[in-house]
Structure 1
């Protein structure tokens, strides 16, 4: 995969209000555009980003509403931009989820196959 990079995301929660303007997957979309190709692997609790579910509700703090990032919307944008998105199937199952629950276009793979591809990338980053 010459010219492509890989981002590995392990943790789902990075703060709420703190990331409402630039979450991790928004960063991945920017890197994908600037580098000419960034694929994403979701492991650990981050596999929940790929689970197809209802949109996130708005968070109310006092009289103010915060629009928190929706990781599913960001993943759909990455997929539409030709970024490959994979989830670690054992991590998905460990959380009681099944592959039929992931967003269309997201590939479920076992842990060993995810790491076998690393030498094919220009760089592997842990975000």
Structure 2
């Protein structure tokens, strides 16, 4: 597969904050906040993502999505948010993760997050808001 990263990423116009982790449901097979972010990135001229709260677990390295058992049926088609984060990074988007939340969920330090996810202190993230045309929550 071709590398879709832009060699010199431009300043993103939009910062999208994702705070609530959502594993998904059996019915949800087509769109979630990270899937939407990829499309909004294209339409809005660039987007950065800031993961906060439980959503920092989307950036966890070496995590396997468990199957869901409903009675005798095993469902193993639920979406994997880590794959979605990798896709955003492959598109050249910058993905940040709140440092204090990484600590809370045991993901701080070397090897806790996917390559390319940038830890950022909460006050530094907030100080950057004015450099974006728009800040929104997904």
Note if 1:109 corresponds to 2:120.
yes
Q: Over alpha carbons, which structure has the higher Rg?
A: 2
Most deviating of 105-114 and 14-23: 14-23
Matched, 1:36 2:45: yes
Moved more, 47-56 or 117-126: 47-56
**Runs of 4+ in structure 1 displaced over 6 angstroms?**
none
| More displaced 10-residue stretch of structure 1: 113-122 or 93-102 | 93-102
Q: Which runs of 5+ in 2 are unaligned?
A: 1-9
Output aligned runs, 1:47-126, within 5 Å.
Answer: 47-61=56-70, 62-63=72-73, 65-100=75-110, 101-126=112-137
Q: TM-score, structure 1 length as denominator?
A: 0.88
Considering fraction of residues, name the structure with more helix.
1
In structure 2, the residue corresponding to 1:8 is in which secondary structure?
Answer: strand
Structure 1 residue runs without a partner (length 5+): none
> Structure 2 length normalisation: TM-score?
0.82
Q: Deviation digits for residues 21-80 of structure 1, max 9, x if unmatched?
A: 212111111111222211100001100000112331333434363511111111111011
Query: What do you get for the CA RMSD once the two structures are aligned?
Result: 1.9
